[in-house]
Amino acid sequence: MAFWLARERRAQESSFIQRFDPRFWRVNFPRPAMASIVTTAPDAMQIDVELHHEGELVGLIWDSVDEIDHPLLAYETNRDYSNTTLSFRWQSDGVIPLDQVNGPTLTIEGRDEDGNARVWLVRLWNYAQGSPSDARIAIPFSDLEAGFNLPGERVHPADIDRLFISFVAPGYVSGSDNPLPERFNGRITISEVVADGRFAMLEIGDIRLPVHGERLATAYDDAYDQSPARIIRNLVGLGYREDLVHYVGMSHFMRLERQGGKLLVPPAGELCVPAIEWHRSFFDLARQTDLEAIASISYELFDAFCPESWKQRTLGGDPALTGWVPPSSLLSPANTEAMGWLKDATAAFVGLLEEAQQPVRVQIGEPWWWTTAQGEICLYDDAARDAFGGAPVAIPDMRQPLDAAQIALLEEAGALLAQSTAELSAHVRSVATGPVEMLLLAFTPTILDESMPELYRANLPVGWAHPAFERLQLEDYDWLTGGADGLRRAAYGFVDDRLQYPVARQDYLAGFVLRPEDAETFWARIDAGIDEAIGRDIPRRYVWAQPQVNRDGYTRLPTIEEDAMNAFDDVLYPFALGRNTSVAPEFSTSISVTASGHERRNSLWADARVHFDVGPGIRSETELSQLIAFFRARRGPARGFRISDPFDHSTNAMTDAPTMIDQPIGVGDGLTTDYQLIKSYGPGPEAQQRIITRPRGETVLVSVDGAATSDWTLSENGTLSFASAPPAGADIRAGFLFDVPVRFAEDRIDISVVNFEAGEAPSVPLIELREEV
């Protein structure tokens, strides 16, 4: 399927929004504070805050540069606010009111008339009419003054990067880490938002891509700062439909309480108010656009919020910590209190789904026993030790050979993990008022890590076998983006054999691209992985995840069913080509001549395109009739076919019998399994390479470091796929006979029997086809 990485909008559809449209504001704050923004009307938004410390400050932000939306949907950059006014109604509950010290303040970040970076602090109360908690505010940017009292310093309005409206809890002390007397909850409603004046409108991308059949994944930990309306707008505009996987996260949805001087999640799995309001809006807006939301929960929790007894631990007692900064930790499936918290939190999301009239679909995402980079499996927290008899056998390194007792412990751990997911599933079914769909997500590169061949016993238990869940979802992005296709394909077979889910009940998650510098390489592999899943008849495919899709401009286009008139008939031209056949390789070269007579030559094609005239090979009236029939069966030039070039059809010289060392086709890296068949013309690095898409399969011979191998299959379009990736540095070579994909060059062929009998050969031109690989 076609895709592209859009960097900017170029002639795609656009529209206009009022500057300061509530959908495009966002919030920001320091951890462990929490806030969210939701739209309540086209001109209104609601901000909920939940604070714990004296120094926590929440900001409501408008960015002059849109770095969140997909490039085809982003609003224009305009830093000039001159002669523009923002007006709105401000209503607040709980936060310090407008007229008090530390009351809501507009921070303007930009540059002065001389281009020097500046920050201006504008007291909103100076521009308000009404009460300190219910006022109408007008911000005239060309007549705006900073400072606590007026008159103050004039703000330069023509070069602004962003606006930041801050609000805090009573008792605010700047920079203080001291706890508030109790958890603080507040709410701000901003309504009747109007922009007026010179730059009151902004151009915005307004594309609506055709539905392409793929789905998208989102995550609250990535999107908590945005309005749900903004997320749904991007998702729908980019052609994603049916449903979405929404990971509720591991660091922002939970309510916290102070325990022993720390803020930790309490045993009751409550959600914080900002998360409740955000998900209430998100699930409802999804329903309004005919999208079903799959709520994804995991056994992962932000480490600083996780009670110590809940954490999985290594044999030496170290907690299971992920590589994120700051890290998250893995909950022990054996810990009753941790699993109780997870059940309660999941039940809360079930309630929000039902409130939004969404079907109850819940994904258990990547439940596993964590294994450290040193191969230490985390089976030794106190609850797990008790579950495994009090003194479980030591497994210091999963990368080393294991004995029968150690393998038995892994099997026992797998059974306990399966029991915990079964109990969570049962709890969801017990609290839901209607049908439930439970999904399991497994990450095969970790579960089936080649360096730890027994790990699957703990992390892919047979207790997950069909029909334990309604759907099985797999993701393998480490292998996918790393090019480890052999490991990926072997994993599909292994999981199928072990868990026995029908293909119709399997989903595939493709992605993700952590670093933008990898976008060009990784998105091509991700897109190919989606196409491969389509080829495996996987019915539901999800792109993971929306932040990277928007950041890199990944744009998936719909599959166009190939018209029969654009097909290729895998048949050989039926007549032998004699030596009278005309064969003409053609390149395309741009040549310019300078005023001094020197040439500048630029080769436009990497490979030649061959032209044939096969008319001289026709030897009888019977063959003339067969040629006409063959031409009609191909619908003239509409359908391609094979032809054997009499002068160049072998990798050994031009026509000699092939050997297994004829052509170097790649160097192993220990991961890559797919290698394109090629033929090189000329020696060394300057050799011209020809991609071979129509080899004769029965003639293919392959060697790895000079040794013959049959550990491969020949895929479509001349791709050699090894069952196991050749080792790093291995010299991979192949030899084979091949045909050329061609089509008739014209819509008609002129044949005269009289001229043929007089010895005049007809002209039947063919032209080589460029085939995608």
The string of pLDDT tens digits covering residues 156-166 is 999 999 999 99
| 756: confidence class by pLDDT, cuts 50, 70, 90 | low
Decide if pLDDT at 752 tops 80.
Answer: no
Q: Which residue would you say has higher pLDDT here, 115 or 584?
A: 115
Secondary structure class of 418 (helix, strand, coil): helix
Model confidence, pTM: 0.86
3-state secondary structure of 158: coil
522 vs 3: CA distance, rounded Å: 12
Give the span between the Cα atoms of 474 and 380, in whole angstroms.
27
pLDDT of residue 564: 42
Cα separation values, 578 from 619, 632, 644, 751, Å: 10, 23, 11, 19
- Examine the pLDDT at 369 and tell me if it is beyond 90: yes
Longest dimension (CA), the chain: 109
pLDDT (tens digit per residue) in 201-252: 999 999 999 999 999 999 999 999 999 999 999 999 999 999 999 999 999 9
- The residues with which 85 forms a beta bridge, in sequence order, are 140, 196
Burial 440-475 (b: 16+ CB within 10 A, else e): bbbbbbbbbbeebebbbbbbbbebbeeebbbbbbbb
Interval 73-96 mean pLDDT: 98
Torsion sign across C-alpha atoms 78, 81, 85, 90: positive
pLDDT in tens, 396-419: 999 999 999 999 999 999 999 999
Q: Alpha-carbon distance 666 to 734, whole Å?
A: 10
Q: Residue 761 pLDDT > 90, yes or no? A: no
257 vs 606, more confident: 257
- For the segment 348-376, the average pLDDT, to the nearest whole number, is 98
Pairing of strands 262-264, 257-259: antiparallel
Exposed, middle or buried: residue 433 (CB in 10 Å: 0-12, 13-18, 19+)? exposed
- Look over the chain and give the mean of its residue pLDDT values, rounded to a whole number: 93
Beta strands in 445-567 (DSSP E): 471-475, 506-511, 540-544, 554-556
CA distance 525 to 529: 6
Please tell me the predicted confidence (pLDDT) of residue 607: 73
The pLDDT of residue 497 is 98
96 and 171 in contact (C-beta within 8 Å)? no
Residue 354, judged by CB atoms within 10 A of its CB (0-12, 13-18, 19+), counts as: middle
Handedness of CA 148, 150, 155, 157 (dihedral sign): positive
pLDDT in tens, 493-533: 999 999 999 999 999 999 889 999 999 999 999 999 999 99
How distant is the alpha carbon of residue 425 from its chain centre? Answer: 27
Work out the burial of residue 724: count CB atoms within 10 Å of its CB; fewer than 13 is exposed, 13-18 middle, 19 or more buried.
Answer: middle
* Amino acid (one-letter) located at 268: A
More confident residue, 709 or 599: 709
pLDDT tens for 256-286 read 999 988 999 999 999 999 999 999 999 999 9
Q: What distance in Å separates the CA atoms of residue 528 and residue 202, rounded to the nearest whole number?
A: 36
Separation in Å, CA 86 to CA 2, 127, 197: 43, 11, 9
Four-CA torsion 741, 746, 747, 751, nearest 10 degrees: -110
Say which amino acid occupies 638: A
Question: Nearest Cα to 438, choosing from 473, 476, 406, 412?
Answer: 473
Q: At residue 197, what are phi and psi to the nearest 5 degrees?
A: 110, -160
Q: Which two tokens stand for residue 541?
A: 């495919």
Yes or no: say if 561 and 632 are a contact pair by the CB < 8 Å rule. no
CB atoms within 10 A of CB 237: 18
The pLDDT confidence band at residue 313, using thresholds 50, 70 and 90, is very high
Residues contacting 597, CB < 8 A, separation 6+: none
